[in-house]
Amino acid sequence: MSFSDIHTHILYGADDGAKTREDAFAIVKASYESGTRLICATPHFHPGYFGDNREQILHSFEVLCEHCSKNYPDLKLFLGNELFYTYDSVSWVKNKLCLPMGSTEYMLVEFSVHSSDDEIAEGVDRLLNIGYIPIIAHAERYGRLKCGRLAALRENGVLVQMNTEAVNGKRLGLGYNKRVKTLLTEGLVDFISSDAHDLTRRPPQMDKSFKILAEKYGHGYAERLCRTNAEKLFCREMTAEDI
């Protein structure tokens, strides 16, 4: 069984993820050895916090691509960004400063955890209006985003990503755990991804999530969330309506 991981911070020196080239290589190695065969590097795009990291992102990605083609020829590597949504960020996206997922029109977007569902819906609309389809990053974190509202966003083509830590039993409170369960049981999640930053605090553990999901919700469901939906997205075999 192989996995696809569409949310990672494996590019060194670009954000709060991998610090050095060796860190990046070690995360990729762990990821590959636990079965991942498709990775999208999604360094933070949050200029107010991480500055202009574009040059470092491109350099680090090039180094990683070279490393992977030598050591893991069957690993598919893509580049994107994790956009931190603010009112101003739409103009950055419009000016193509923020990268979509590979060559797709999908953009991984995180919101402030304090955002209301109206604020998230407004952000989604603004991105849709300029031609990008948001993938809502770690949707389990938004306590004020009601499931009904998320379902309506998905009907408009928006996709939803959940972190492995949520599936793997990281305890962040009753509301959080309940939300994780509801999102999964109501079928409101399209991708499980590691959001890996390192090998200790936030490691790439797609295999663990897959096992837990398969036991609780069935093999087919786990396979879609941990592998095939992402493959379809990047390989453009299907549109979002088919996911």
Q: Which residues bind Fe ion (CB under 5 A)?
A: 82, 195
Distance in Å, CB of 41 to Fe ion, minimum = 11
State which residue, 179 or 215, has the beta carbon closest to Fe ion. 179
The tokens for 211 are 């096992």
Residue 39 makes CB contacts below 8 A (sequence gap 6+) with 4, 5, 6, 8, 10, 28, 31, 75, 76, 77, 78
State which residue, 34 or 194, has the beta carbon closest to Fe ion. 194
Q: Where are the alpha helices (DSSP H) in 72-146?
A: 89-94, 117-129
State which residue, 2 or 8, has the beta carbon closest to Fe ion. 8
CA distance 5 to 38: 6
Closest residue to Fe ion, based on beta-carbon distance: 195
State which residue, 82 or 190, has the beta carbon closest to Fe ion. 82
Match 């999530």 to its residue by tokens.
209
Distance in Å, CB of 7 to Fe ion, minimum = 6
Cα–chain-centroid distance for residue 197? 12
The tokens for 10 are 């494996």
Distance in Å, CB of 201 to Fe ion, minimum = 13
Distance in Å, CB of 83 to Fe ion, minimum = 10
